[in-house]
Amino acid sequence: MKKFVYKITYILGILISINVLTYFASKNSGWVESVYSQNIYLKIGSFLSNIFGILPFSFTEFLIIAALISIIATSYVLIRNFSVTNFLNYLLNFLSILTTLVFLFWCLWGINNFRMPVESSLPFEKNKYTVDDLEKACEILLEKAIYLREHLDEDINGVATVNEGYMEILRRSSESYDKISEMYDIIPSAGKIRPKPMILSKFMSGLNYTGMYNPYTGETNINIDEPIFNIPFTVCHEIAHLKGFPKENEANFISFLVCTNSDDMFFQYSGYLSGLLYSANALYRESPDAYFKLRSTYSEGINRDLTYSTEYWDKHQGLAAKIGESNNNVFLKFTNQPEGTKSYGLVVDLIISYLLGN
């Protein structure tokens, strides 16, 4: 009985600590920004990234597999030796581990969710856009994407590719970050980042995930099975999470900035194409006629890329994808992103303000 009381007391103590920590952070965004995000967290993220970056493989994948095996083995033992006492003991052990991991999540990274909006530190104002603004931004993005697409290599299917492969993309991501950090102080340089290609990439696609940042190891894990012209944007998005920007719209915008300002044309194309897709989707919701007019001006190369991407993701739609998206939606809402998975598309406000304000 004493063990049960101790474990329950521990769990309640951790839950109270989590609530106190998140409540304080939610009321003190300035402190979070200046003390935690720009100082404490950068040291934490850099330390973890350097330590686990030594490994040539994704330690995150190892942890996921180990956790699944542990859950299966524990469930088997519990069923074989079932009793109310054993069940309560295993349940309290599980809750103790879970609450500890949640507490560490907030301490190691999650508090960044309460930092100041990224646009407060950028040299332009984020404004509500009109349909005309949206059309202009889409035209700019499309013009850039068409020009860049004409200068890229193609694979046997006529789809944009880079001959060096995905490993070269992962390597170049650091160089692109170093350039953008010189332009905007709020965005830290890449440092010794080693983005990890995931062995379970096909499984990730099945869950509708393109990447994953692990705050416990500081690893940026990349789905390398997705269309290769999307990988630069994905890598830079996950690195933005590593650099302390957990909100999906902000990570998307930082990825857009990094890619489009890169010296690498493949990165530029990935950035402009991704920005175009988000903006064009917004245009479709606001004015379908304007969207179809814009859509008719896409180049053949861009159309081939988009067709390939659509067919790729259509092949991976199913129950697993719905579960993956649902889990991501819950996670985002839990971490102070009330729009859930819709928050990815909120990047359009920032892209338009950037394009039309410069």
pLDDT digits 0-9 by tens, 45-54: 999 999 999 9
Report the range of poorest mean pLDDT among 50-54, 81-85, 213-217, 250-254: 81-85
pLDDT, residue 339, reads: 60
Mind listing the pLDDT tens digit for each residue in 245-261?
A: 999 999 999 999 999 99
pLDDT in tens, 225-234: 999 999 999 9
**Average pLDDT of span 37-44:** 95
pLDDT at 325 over 80: no
The b/e string for 156-192 (b: 16+ C-beta within 10 A; e otherwise) is: eeebbbbeeebeebbebbbebbeebbeebebbbebbe
Kind plus residue range of the DSSP H or E element containing 214? strand 211-214
What is the rounded radius of gyration, in angstroms, for the C-alpha atoms of the chain?
22
Q: How far apart are CA 154 and CA 150, in angstroms?
A: 10
At residue 343, does pLDDT exceed 60?
no
The neighbour count for residue 6, using CB atoms within 10 Å, is: 12
Q: What average pLDDT does the segment 1-5 reach?
A: 77
> H helices within the chain, ranges in order?
2-27, 29-31, 41-52, 59-80, 84-108, 131-149, 166-183, 201-206, 231-242, 248-260, 265-286, 288-295, 300-314, 319-334, 347-357
pLDDT interval class at 330 (50, 70, 90):
low
**Residue 213 pLDDT exceeds 70:** yes
pLDDT tens by residue, 124-174: 777 778 899 999 999 999 999 999 999 999 999 999 999 888 899 998 888
Mean pLDDT, range 20-30, rounded to an integer: 95
Cα dihedral sign, 176-181-186-192: positive
287: left (phi over 0), alpha (psi -120 to 50) or beta: beta
pLDDT band of residue 183 (cuts 50, 70, 90) is confident
In the structure encoding, which two tokens stand for residue 303, read together?
Answer: 């159309």
Sequence-separated (6 or more) residues with CB below 8 Å from residue 225: 201, 202, 204, 205
CA 162 remoteness from chain centre: 23
pLDDT band at 341 (very low <50, low <70, confident <90, very high): very low
Supply the pLDDT for residue 198: 95
Q: What are phi and psi of 160, to 5 degrees?
A: -60, 135
Q: Looking at the predicted structure, is the pLDDT value of residue 17 above 50?
A: yes
Residue with tokens 């194309």: 269
DSSP-assigned beta bridge partners for residue 197? 222
- Model's pTM, two decimal places? 0.92
Res 346 pLDDT > 60: yes
* Mean pLDDT within 298-307: 96
Q: What is the mean pLDDT of residues 75-79?
A: 84
Q: Give the model's pLDDT for residue 318.
A: 67
